[in-house]
Structure 1
Amino acid sequence: MEYPGNLFVVAAPSGAGKSSLVKALLELDAKLSVSVSHTSRAPRGQEQHGREYWFVGLDEFRDMVARGDFFEWAEVHGNLYGTSRAGIESRMAQGDDVVLEIDYQGALQIKQLFPYAVLIFVLPPSWEELKQRLIRRGDTQPEVIATRMANARVEIDQARHFDFVVVNAVFDSAVFDLKAIVHAQRLKYAAQRRNRSAVFQALQLD
C-alpha cells in the first residue's frame, strides 16, 4: 500500500556515522521524524526508554515477533531489534515522513514488504577511517573492533541493494547529500500531484 508520507531507511556499519547524520538531518528538516525501534538490549549511557529505543525484555520481544507486531526485526551483535508496524503505518498514513535507522537486514526486509521505501546506505571513506572512528567512539577492546570490522565487510557488501549511497567523508557534505535525497523524493510526480493538487487541477494534469 502507498501512503501519503515517505519512509526513508538509513543503514550503515558501526562507526560510519549513521546516527550523527540522521540527527543532523532531523535538525534541518522539521517535516521528518525518526522512528524509535524496540530492542532487547539494555540501555547504554544516557539512553532513555522511548527516546533512543523502546527497551523490552527478550521474552516480550519474542512475543511481539510471534504476534506480527514488527515491520522488520533482526539480530545484530547478539541483540534483537525491531520496528513497530503500527507505529510506522499510522504516521505515514497521516502524511508524515519517517526515518528509520536500522541494519541492512531490516532495511532489505522493509523493501520487500514496502516497495515504496527509500533505502540509503552510509559508507565510510576507507577501512582505516572506519577503524579509527570505532576507536574514537570508545570501542577500544581489540576483539570488539575486530568483530565490528568483520561485520562491516559483510554489511558494506549489501550497499549494492540500496537506492542511494552516501559516503561520509566530510560530515557536512554527507548531511547535504541526505537532505538532497529527501528533497528529491518529495519532488516525484506522485508526491507533487498529492501535495500540490491545486496546481495539478489548474493545469488539468492527471
Structure 2
Amino acid sequence: MSTQGLLIVLSGPSGAGKGTVCKALLKECPQIQYSISATTREPRTGEKEGKSYFFTEKKQFESKIESNQFLEWAKVYDNYYGTPKDFVIKNLKKGKDVILEIDVNGAKQVLKNFPDGTFIFLLPPSLEELSNRINKRGTDSQEVIKKRLASAEGEISEMKNYNYAVLNDQVENAVEKIKAIIIAEKCKIDKIDVIKEDFKNDLPID
C-alpha cells in the first residue's frame, strides 16, 4: 500500500464542533499527527514550543510568507498564524497521516497549495442547533452571535468544494465516519503505489 500519509483537512462553521471531534479522533487514533501551527503571538502559560505552536518572530514569519512556506496563513488582529509546509510534508513522507483543523478560508488556501489532501466538511445538525451551541458558550454578545450565524450560512455553501461531508449529530458518530473516510482514502487506486510493481507479472497485458 501507499507509504505516503494522508493530509486530512477538517473544517466547517464556528460551532460545528471541529475541536471536539478532532480531539476525540486523536484519542482513538494516536498515530494521526495533529498539525502544529506557527504563530507570532507570545506563548501563554503552559504552552510549549513545537508542541502547542511554533513561536516565530514577525519578520521571520513574513519572510516565510514571501517564500511560500505555509500551506495557509492568516493575520488575526496583530498576530500571524499559519500551517508550515515543511512540518506537514515531513510527516507525510514518514507515512504519518496529518490532520489539520481549520476554518473554511484556511481550507481554501490548503486546497490551492495541496489539492491531494482529503477535505472533510463538518456540519452541525441544523442552524438552530448551531445557534444553541454558540449561545451555550456564553462568550459572545448577541450581535456577535448573529454575525457568526450569518457567516456560517456562507461557509456551509462552500461545502461543494470538499470531498466529504460529515454530520456532527453525535461526536462518536462523526469520529466513526471520519475513520471510515480515512480507510476508504487509503484504498483508492491512486493511493496504492505498489500494486503494479508487486503484481506486474500477474497482470494481463493489453
> What's the TM-score bracket when you normalise by the shorter of the two chains?
0.7 to 0.9
Residue matched to 2:173:
173
Q: CA RMSD in A?
A: 3.0
Please, what TM-score do these two structures have when normalized by structure 1? 0.82
Tell me the amino acid that sits aligned with residue 61 of structure 2. Answer: F
1:23 aligns to 2:34 (yes or no) = no
What displacement does 1:193 show?
A: 4.3
Residue matched to 1:99:
99
What displacement does 1:139 show?
A: 2.4
Residue matched to 1:122:
122
What displacement does 1:51 show?
A: 3.5
What displacement does 1:90 show?
A: 1.2
Give unpaired runs (5+ residues) of structure 2.
none
Aligned residues: 203
- Aligned with residue 204 of structure 1, among 186, 202, 205: 202
Q: What percentage of aligned pairs have identical amino acids?
A: 37
What displacement does 1:67 show?
A: 3.1
Tell me the amino acid that sits aligned with residue 12 of structure 1. Answer: G
Alpha-carbon distance in 1 for matches of 2:152, 2:53 = 22
Superposed counterparts of 1:26-37, under 5 Å:
26-37=26-37
What displacement does 1:112 show?
A: 2.2
Alpha-carbon distance in 1 for matches of 2:143, 2:58 = 25
Tell me the amino acid that sits aligned with residue 172 of structure 1. Answer: E
Superposed counterparts of 1:184-199, under 5 Å:
184-194=184-194
What displacement does 1:172 show?
A: 1.2
- Is 1:139–1:145's contact at 8 Å kept on the other side of the alignment? no
> In structure 2, do the counterparts of structure 1 residues 87 and 47 end up closer, same or farther at CA, with 3 Å as the change threshold?
same
Tell me the amino acid that sits aligned with residue 202 of structure 2. Answer: Q
What displacement does 1:123 show?
A: 0.9
Alpha-carbon distance in 2 for matches of 1:47, 1:169 = 31
> In structure 2, do the counterparts of structure 1 residues 152 and 53 end up closer, same or farther at CA, with 3 Å as the change threshold?
farther
What displacement does 1:147 show?
A: 2.8
Please, what TM-score do these two structures have when normalized by structure 2? 0.82
Which one has the largest radius of gyration? 2
Alpha-carbon distance in 1 for matches of 2:191, 2:67 = 33
- Partner secondary structure for residue 74 of structure 1: strand
Give unpaired runs (5+ residues) of structure 1.
none
